Chain A
Amino acid sequence: MLSAERRRRLVAAMAEAEINEMLLYGNAWQGDYLRYAADFGILEGHGIALVAADGSVELFLDSAVEAERAAAEAPGVEVVFAPDIARAVGARLDRVSNHRLAAAPRRFVPRWLADPERGFSLDDSTALVDRLLMHKLPAEIDAIRQAAKIADDAYVVFREAVKIGRPQYELVADVEAFLRGRGCPDNFMILGSGGKDVLGMTPPSDRRIAAGDLVTTELTPCVAGYYVQICRTVVVGPASEAQRRAFALYRAALEAGIAAVKPGATAADVARAENDVFRAYGLGDYVTSKWTRVRGHGLGLFCDSKPHILEDVDTPLMPGMALIVHPNTYHPEVGYLVLGDSVVVTEQGCEVLCGTPRELFEVAG
């Protein structure tokens, strides 16, 4: 079972680092560390998992509803409903204060627990868990591959949903309904529609789709908690020459980025390969943080994992890492445009997970 495999790996890493107990914090925004240990996809409140050296896991939750759900969804974990979660976990850690304790991600841990006045201290083991999150087991990659199939199908639903006059949030409703029907419990998606006035993607608004719009989205469904992402752009009506020209540039940048994904390369190498294409066309300003956040990122139990694909991130790529490469940014002639594919790093290079064509899709205008 995947969760048991993960837990064995975590316990082995703890033993190697001489950590007796590990605290993993999570909430619905940053849930990956918690899920790695407790296999619970938290939706509400704070969650803290305590993993002992023998592999036993206690899961503290400050929402009664979430505690009840965790008891049903996370077998093999002792669930504790703790309205005052910091003090409940603190009382538990007081009992092992002479042990070596560590926390990840430490900066998210409740302040009260990290306070030097406590009778225990929590070392920072974020980097240790980050390594486990990034370098995946074969079963984790299998889950990501399954999610990629769903992402391809969901993008078809999205394209079909794009119709003149529909508000953006109805497009999301169609996609989410499709995903729930497929048994996919979660998805992250943002989108944009319009022209040069659109600087990026956000949650949906009530803006209505109009002729000539570029409609951008990133879809990020998950299987067993593992997220995969696809980024594509649709134009409403026939694409203009400027839109086609711009899209060709993004496709070249994506292909250059994917070609750079191989063992031994770094995240920076991938970002540089993408950005060099923009620079070659005199658009170097548009690959800076003023116009774009990242040029891709890791995938796994969080939809925006490490490593971030940026020219100053020197994380080496290794087989078993999953990434999305997406040269998404603003184009001064046509507006914000996106294109991205998820990949897994292999011994030879990488495997592209999604099969959706890299096209500037056109829908009836």
Chain B
Amino acid sequence: MRRGLIARSPDELPDAVLEARLDRLRAAMVQAHLDALIVYTNNTRPAGVSWLTGFVPYWSEALLLVPRAGDPVLVVALTYRVKTWIERTSRVAEVIHTPRIGLEAGRRIAAQKPDAVVGIVEFDTLSAGIADDLKQAAPRLALTDASELFARQRARADEAEIALATKAAHIAHRALARVPRDATDAGQAIAAVEATARTMGAEEIYLAAATDLGGDECLRRVEGEARLGRRFALRATVAYQGTWVRIVRTVERDGAAAEPAIARFAATLTRLPDTAGFANFRAWLIEGCRTTQPLDTLIGSRAVASPAPLPGLVSVQAHIDVDGQPVLVGCPVVIEPRGARPLVSPTFE
């Protein structure tokens, strides 16, 4: 569950930005002849609703109803007692509290138009219970998948989103820099990173470690005691005000053998959205937000290519061989018409 700082700053995520996003979405809905759009959120798939409202549930679930004309309504399973918290941390015209969010959403849409055409983002993976409740409450609604429609709007990174991602990247970068090169205890290293990130206002941080690259390069969540080898890697996944990035760093106790490989990686990043250069690496992965998952798998050496173009913000990871030794590296990148640029340096510098 989310337990970092959940706060919406009107300076960093102004009302005008949210309104512009809604306007773009409503225009797409008109073109697609949708009367309403439904976006699901919980603490693991918050990125659709947070992009439109700033709302991030720390647990539980909600549906955002976006009418073709008019203000969005948030139907939440969270109790009424946290209403003021929701209003403080998001921008929604109306918040409705009910344990059966599908029933209430169906009723409200049908009250306006019983045979409305309703687009649902990620309709196929919507919980069966919510889908059943929607049908029960409003059997005449025409429900259709609106994932691609939403993804097309969501893919464009505006200045506010780039600024939030840059802040998230700097939090991760500075937090990872707290790991001493001579650290030997994984728990202590991870604690230092986590304390820094949360003190800097991270909404969330997930840390995974490959504790000894000499023996195993799999990134795991560390539980219990673990010793760090002479070369190890850490992956920090950081959220700041609803915007997520991943950074991976290889730490070498002796020397800097990884640096040439990291330089090659950095050069390849700047050529995005062209991914041809990544074929030189043993493994690579590009993630970004398409709909509701903050870091969706988009394309990579082990992932099927996404049919859609890459979104404007992505996080890229690679495993690179250097003299038979793995180097793990990763960095968020903004892809703009004039070129791609990493949000932070892929090194500790």
Contact = CB atoms under 8 A, between A and B. Distances in A.
Contacts of B84: 199
Interface in B276-312: 285, 287, 293-297, 300, 302-304
B222 A63 contact: no
B221 A41 contact: yes
Interface stretch (B18-26, B41-49, B108-116, B334-342): B41-49
Contacts of A29: 1, 42-44, 59-61
Interface stretch (B155-163, B186-194, B256-264): B186-194
Given A107-B127, A180-B207, A203 B220 contact: no
Given A44-B293, A180-B207, A203-B5, A110 B124 contact: yes
Nearest to A30: B42
A91 B164 CA distance: 40
A158 to B, nearest CB: 12
A113 interface: yes
B311 to A, nearest CB: 15
Given A69-B219, A202-B85, A111 B285 contact: no
A270 B137 CA distance: 35
Given A62-B297, A169-B201, A46 B221 contact: no
B192 A203 contact: no
A131 B123 CA distance: 31
Given A181-B187, A206-B5, A107 B128 contact: yes
A115 B132 CA distance: 10
Contacts of A190: 3, 58
Interface string B231-263: 000000000000000100000000000000000
B322 interface: no
A68 interface: yes
Instruction: Categorize the interface residue count of chain A.
Output: 35 or more
Interface string A195-214: 00001101111100000000
Given A110-B125, A111-B124, A180 B85 contact: no
B221 A177 contact: no
A172 B4 contact: yes
A24 to B, nearest CB: 14
Interface in A108-127: 108-114
Contacts of A63: 293, 295-297
Interface string B309-329: 000000001000000000000
Interface string B52-93: 000000111100000000000000000111101100100000
A81 B303 CA distance: 8
A176 interface: yes
A178 B199 contact: no
Given A29-B60, A71-B218, A185 B4 contact: no
Contacts of B79: 200, 289, 293
A109 B295 contact: no
A111 B123 contact: yes
Contact of B187 (A84, A183, A189, A203): A183
B316 to A, nearest CB: 12
B206 interface: yes
Contacts of B222: 180, 183, 185
A180 B190 contact: yes
Given A45-B44, A172-B4, A83 B198 contact: no
B198 A112 contact: no
Interface in A33-66: 41, 43-46, 62-65
Contact of A204 (B3, B224, B285, B300): B3
A153 interface: no
A27 B222 CA distance: 19
A45 B128 contact: no
A86 B222 CA distance: 30
Contacts of B191: 177-178, 180-181
A190 B297 CA distance: 30
B83 to A, nearest CB: 9
A86 B7 contact: no
Nearest to B317: A65
Contact of B220 (A69, A176, A188, A204): A69
A81 B304 CA distance: 10
A17 interface: no
Contacts of A170: 198-199
B23 to A, nearest CB: 29
A72 interface: yes
B129 interface: yes
A25 to B, nearest CB: 9
Nearest to A43: B206
Contacts of B285: 64-65
Nearest to B56: A203
A94 B18 CA distance: 43
A121 B198 CA distance: 45
B126 interface: yes
A81 B302 contact: yes
A181 B128 contact: no
B117 interface: no
B194 A110 contact: no
A86 B208 contact: no
A173 B60 contact: no
A45 B102 CA distance: 21
Given A106-B128, A190-B58, A224-B223, 7 more contacts: A69-B221, A107-B130, A110-B126, A176-B194, A200-B81, A205-B6, A205-B7
9 contacts: A29-B43, A43-B206, A62-B293, A65-B317, A110-B128, A111-B127, A183-B225, A185-B223, A200-B82
Interface of A: 27-29, 41, 43-46, 62-65, 68-69, 71-73, 81, 83-87, 106-114, 169-170, 172-174, 176-178, 180-185, 187-190, 199-200, 202-206, 224, 289-291, 293, 303-304
Interface of B: 1-7, 42-45, 58-61, 79-82, 84-85, 88, 123-132, 187-188, 190-192, 194-195, 198-199, 201, 206-208, 216, 218-226, 246, 285, 287, 293-297, 300, 302-304, 317
Please provide the 7 A-B residue pairs with the shortest distance between their CB atoms, ordered closest to farther: A107-B129, A173-B198, A177-B195, A72-B218, A114-B128, A181-B191, A28-B44
